[in-house]
Amino acid sequence: MTARVGVITFPGTLDDRDTQRAVRAAGVEAVPLWHRDKDLHQVDAVVLPGGFSYGDYLRAGAISRFSPVMGTVIEQARAGMPVLGICNGFQVLTETHLLPGAMLRNNHLHFICRDQKLRVENATTAWTSDYAQGQEISIPLKNIDGRYVADERTLDMLEAEGRVAFRYLTDGPTADGYGNPNGSLRDIAGITNEAGNVVGLMPHPEHAVEPLIGTGRTDGLGFFTSILKKLVNA
Partner 1 sequence: MSLDTVKHAAETPETDQPWAELGLKQDEYARIREILGRRPTGAELAMYSVMWSEHCSYKSSKVHLKQFGEKAPENDALLVGIGENAGVVDVGQGYAVTFKVESHNHPSYIEPYQGAATGVGGIVRDILAMGARPVAVMDPLRFGAADHPDTKRVLPGVVAGIGGYGNCLGLPNIGGEVVFDPCYQGNPLVNALCVGVMKHEDIHLAKASGAGNKVILYGARTGGDGIGGVSVLASETFDDAKPTKRPAVQVGDPFQEKLLIECTLEIFREKLVAGIQDLGGAGLSCATSELASAGSGGMRVELDTVPLRDSSLSPEEILMSESQERMCAIVEPDKVDRFLEICEKWDVIATVIGEVTDGSRLEIFWHGEQIVDVPPRSVAHEGPTYHRPYARPEWQDALQADDAAALPRPADAAELRAQVLQLVGSPNQASKAWITDQYDRFVQGNTVLAQPEDSGMIRIDEETNLGVAVATDGNGRYAKLDPYAGAQLALAEAYRNVAASGARPLAISDCLNFGSPEDPAVMWQFAEATRGLADGCQVLGTPVTGGNVSLYNQTGDVAIHPTPVVAVLGVIDDVTRRTPVGFAEEGQLLYLLGDTREELGGSAWSQVVHEHLGGLPPKVDLERERLLAEILISASRDGMIDAAHDLSDGGLVQALVESCLRGGKGARVVVPDAVDPFVFLFSESAGRAIVSVPRSEELRFTDMCGARGLPATRIGVVDGDELALQEQFSIPLAELRAAHEATVPGLIA
User: Contact between 12 and partner 1 (CB under 8 A)?
Assistant: yes
Told to check if 140 binds partner 1 by CB under 8 A, we report yes
Contacts of 186 (CB under 8 A, 6+ apart): 155, 159, 164, 167
In whole angstroms, the minimum distance from the beta carbon of 30 to partner 1 comes to 13
Q: Give the integer Cα–Cα distance in Å for 7 and 10.
A: 10
Contact 147, 199 (CB under 8 A): no
Residues in contact with partner 1, shown as a per-residue x/- string from 41 to 80 under the rule CB under 8 A:
----------xx-xxxx-----------------------
Instruction: Tell whether residue 147 is a contact of partner 1 (CB under 8 A).
Output: no
Terminal Cα-to-Cα distance of the chain (whole angstroms)? 11
Choose the binding region for partner 1 from 13-21, 73-81, 149-157, 182-190 (rule: CB under 8 A): 13-21
Q: What DSSP state is assigned to residue 87? A: T
In this structure, how many other beta carbons lie within 10 angstroms of the beta carbon of residue 233?
7
Contact (Cβ atoms closer than 8 angstroms) between residue 84 and residue 92: no
Q: Which one of the spans 89-97, 162-170, 188-196, 213-221 is the region binding partner 1 (CB under 8 A)? A: 213-221
Nearest CB to partner 1, comparing residues 42 and 177 = 177
Binding string, residues 184-203; x marks residues near partner 1 by CB under 8 A: --------------------
Helix/strand/coil for 8: strand
- By CB under 8 A, name the one of 61, 89, 146, 214 that touches partner 1: 214
Query: Residue 130 — left, alpha, or beta (φ > 0 → left; ψ -120 to 50 → alpha)?
Result: alpha
Are the C-beta atoms of residues 210 and 218 closer than 8 Å to each other? yes
| Residue 147 to residue 81: CA distance in whole angstroms | 27
Residue 66 Cβ, how far from partner 1 at the closest point, in Å?
14
| Interface residue with partner 1, options 8, 22, 48, 73 (CB under 8 A) | 22
The DSSP 8-state label assigned to residue 132 in this structure reads P
State in angstroms the smallest separation of the CB of 23 from partner 1. Answer: 12
Contact residues toward partner 1 (CB under 8 A) are 11-12, 14-15, 17-18, 21-22, 51-52, 54-57, 110-114, 140, 142, 144, 175-177, 204, 206-207, 210, 212-215
